[in-house]
Amino acid sequence: MALRIERLIARQVWATAFKNRAFFGVLMGIGFLLVYAAVTGWVSFRQQNAMGRQYQQQARQEWLNNPDKHPHRMAHYGHFAFRPKAPLSVFDFGMESFLGNTVFLEAHKQNSVNFSEAGFSTGLLRFGEISLSMVLQLLLPLLLFFVGFGTVASDRETGTLKLLLSQGVSWQQLLVGKSLGLIAVMLILYGPVMLATGLLWFGLLWFGLQGGAVNADQTLRLLLLLGSYFLYLSLFCVIAVLVSARCRTAKTALVSLIGLWLMLTLVLPRASQALGSYLYPAPSKAKFLADIQADVLKEGDSHNPNDPHYKELKDSLLTAYGVDSVQKLPFNYSGFVMAEGEKISAQLYNDHFQRLLAIYDQQNRFSKTLAFVNPYLAIRNLSMALSGTDFASYVDFQQQAEQYRYDMAQKLNELQIELISNQKPGPTDKPHQIGKNHWQEIPDFTYQSPGVASVFRHETISLLAFIFWSGLLWVVAWRLTKTLTAL
């Protein structure tokens, strides 16, 4: 009997929503935006990944086509690494447009990732891009507030609420029924969006546009994305019903919900980012690079023959091999020095980079902690992480590219140590060089995306925030059932 009452109340909410002509207009507008977001996401994914694969193959071919050359010249010739787009980036663009996707890899130098979409766009990109996730995160909650503001408050104004309660309907049944009815309305848009996301994701993987096949990791990411958005939107349905139940008039409920939406989706996210940057300031790029260079000069400059560190290194090698000049060493001394310099500079760079990441982690952790105040922050961070478009995914690419750069430089230094003579060529001799077949010994760069376990590691706070909000709304609803009145 109780379940029947809640179902009847839910049907009443459903019927009331679809009697409103304005609701159909808004629904069609949001539906148009969803179609636009799906098409642009698909086109952007295909174009950028196809371009990345083309240039990665071109860079590899140009590397292999180099003629016989000195290994150190090849180290400075360098290579490129391109970051592919994740399959679920068609759903959530995340930070893709701001973080860049290409890095030039060369010896003795760690270059930043460049060629972001924001670098070629106008300042309008700062207002965000229309994606499927953006519509679900921002516009659908607003629509739910417009539909749900009068679920209880309108009944109170018309006297229907007093009639329902007098006939034995409890506040618990009323709030549950109203919430279920609003959730049913939410499914009208949520269902097609997630179905389209699944079809796009499956198409990208199945037809090889991502360069892979459907696997358990990507499937789990999609399922977690479906579940997290359903929970997020259900929370907004419950919030709308509770605010409507608490307000005396529908007008008051509408104003309260719009103000709450503005606070949760616009004000607090911007404020949390600004406050996090203020509390944990990060150095500028110029200062970051200058600090690294200063530490390299203190530790040892491999290009300075009079550097104390390398002078001591040379003396120890001469003593160990019992010779009086580096030309008599059984290996190429310059290559040995370059390998030592690469090791030192890479270690110093990684140390500074880890300290910089620690600052960014403090900023991000501060913002993520505010998810306990704002569920929008929880879904935004979790959505980007599951879609592979968050800051952690970008850092993972940068670290893999740096490891590849270091391995490439050290392999070429090894070739110089082993195959290049210590004796300088005469004025009429050809420069020292090795055969071009050695370039094949260095594999092409291949990015390995992190598993879904990394999402749980980086987004623990967001997951806990969802649990907190679910419990909080349950407690608030239970308390309201004890204090609410029909008048």
3-state secondary structure 235-261: HHHHHHHHHHHHCCCHHHHHHHHHHHH
Backbone angles phi, psi at 81, to 5 degrees: -125, 130
Strand partners, 82: 102
pLDDT value at position 123? 46
Distance of alpha carbon 187 from alpha carbon 300, whole angstroms: 63
Whether residue 307 lies inside any domain: the answer is: no
Query: Would you give per-residue pLDDT tens digits along the chain (487 residues)?
Result: 457 888 899 999 998 888 888 888 888 888 888 888 888 888 888 888 888 889 999 999 999 999 999 998 998 898 999 988 888 888 998 888 778 788 999 988 888 887 655 444 544 445 557 889 999 999 999 999 999 999 999 989 888 888 888 888 889 999 999 999 999 999 998 988 888 888 888 777 666 555 556 678 888 999 999 999 999 999 999 999 999 999 989 999 999 999 999 999 999 999 998 999 899 998 888 888 888 888 888 877 666 667 788 888 888 888 888 888 888 888 888 888 889 888 988 998 999 999 999 999 999 999 899 999 999 999 999 999 999 999 999 999 999 999 999 999 999 999 999 998 887 777 777 888 899 999 999 999 999 888 889 999 999 999 999 999 999 999 999 999 888 887 7
Length of the chain: 487
Whether residue 306 lies inside any domain: the answer is: no
pLDDT value at position 473? 94
Mode of pairing for the β-strands spanning 79-82 and 102-106: antiparallel
Q: Which domain holds residue 215?
A: 2-299+329-424+435-483
Are 416 and 72 in contact by the 8 Å Cβ rule? The answer is yes
Whether residue 346 lies inside any domain: the answer is: yes
Whether residue 49 lies inside any domain: the answer is: yes
Number of domains in the chain: 1
Distance of alpha carbon 78 from alpha carbon 165, whole angstroms: 76
Whether residue 9 lies inside any domain: the answer is: yes
Distances from the Cα of 93 to the Cαs of 9, 83, 198, in angstroms?
Answer: 38, 14, 16
pLDDT value at position 482? 87
Q: Is 109 helix (H, G, I), strand (E, B) or coil?
A: strand
Are 440 and 411 in contact by the 8 Å Cβ rule? The answer is no
* 3-state class percentages of the chain: helix first, strand second, coil last, to nearest 5: 75, 5, 25
Are 102 and 80 in contact by the 8 Å Cβ rule? The answer is yes
Backbone angles phi, psi at 61, to 5 degrees: -65, -40
Distance of alpha carbon 15 from alpha carbon 408, whole angstroms: 66
| Displacement of CA 217 from its chain's centroid (Å) | 17
Whether residue 241 lies inside any domain: the answer is: yes
Are 52 and 59 in contact by the 8 Å Cβ rule? The answer is no
Are 144 and 182 in contact by the 8 Å Cβ rule? The answer is yes
pLDDT value at position 486? 77
Mode of pairing for the β-strands spanning 79-82 and 109-110: unpaired
Burial state string for 270-294 with b = 16 or more CB within 10 A and e = fewer than 16: eebbeebeeebebeeeeebbeebee
Tokens representing 405 are: 């750069």
